[in-house]
Chain A
């Protein structure tokens, strides 16, 4: 019994030490805003956030544009200062601390002129089903989040085809793809943003193979440009 008690105490001790060593990586550091504080911050004010990389859109001349999200909300980081070396480190789920200014461009709220540092921690967001929110005022509350749209029907993109290269069909392979899909009698426009998902990706190929009348499930980021303009990252034909 004594042996058993000693063993039990040892285990308890070991686990309590392990517990002491583990940090709550979800907790915000000193001076870092919660999502609610970020949301409430005035445009053009300085912001400091901790968030997790969900997708990288582009890198050019030491500037990175990145979709990020924590468990409470999403943040679009526009042209954040970032070396090519650091850009490689920004894998899906990577936790980063970002210091910049809150801005808005054509309805898209974003963090601008930012710098960042990589932190310990990892989080990959599950897609939130936003199908029922389409066309409602509540949709904007989820701006930039990773979302899904389910059971939608592909509609005419404008010239009898299921998609267009560029918004009016003026583009060519490699440009953004635009397509329409409906649910509950309402049609919405979706985009495959070519910097986020270029013409070598599965989603680009999937959209090029769409046919009017297909029923599809989609995932993507809830981007905004003069209204909702989801940047789709996956399409599944049902």
Chain B
């Protein structure tokens, strides 16, 4: 096996006395679909923040393809597409304008072709000239997926992506994720929904109290066993 794509090496993150992550050493390979579970306040969002350089570790190193993040420049962030429960969109602008702006920041080439491609995928191309303000919730979420993927990121980070998603949008998201997985993209998803996370991913992880208490490939464990482990880990 070659160098892992992302490697956390003894990473600690403290906010004063609050230790959000404790000595986390974990690595993920390219092409994996990792679902991360854990109770509220376990350190999931801190983990994602560290991954996207929204914050730096208090101690320890995070390596991307063997290079510490500290040495990588702002360009590193272009490896990521983040889908969150927040839409990350300007409500007064149209879908096209939003994607043009964000695509511009990511330095996307042939932007109009790319926008057409991605909007078609989320089934919003016909509505491209409508203000986002008038979008339904489901449409907004689909557009937010398109926004996150506009620059064809290597790693897709999803923070509770299914929360509040209607069936249509969640179907589209699942299809897109499967497609990305087939394309050998790395997907890191934080979710509460165990069944959905288990079905989709290739690797499962549980964070509890700032630590990875479970991290294994899905093929090694059945859904029932995993649910048991999760319940046990959370109730402790």
Q: Do A and B bind each other?
A: no
- Report which B residues bind A (CB closer than 8 A): none
A residues in contact (CB < 8 Å) with B? none
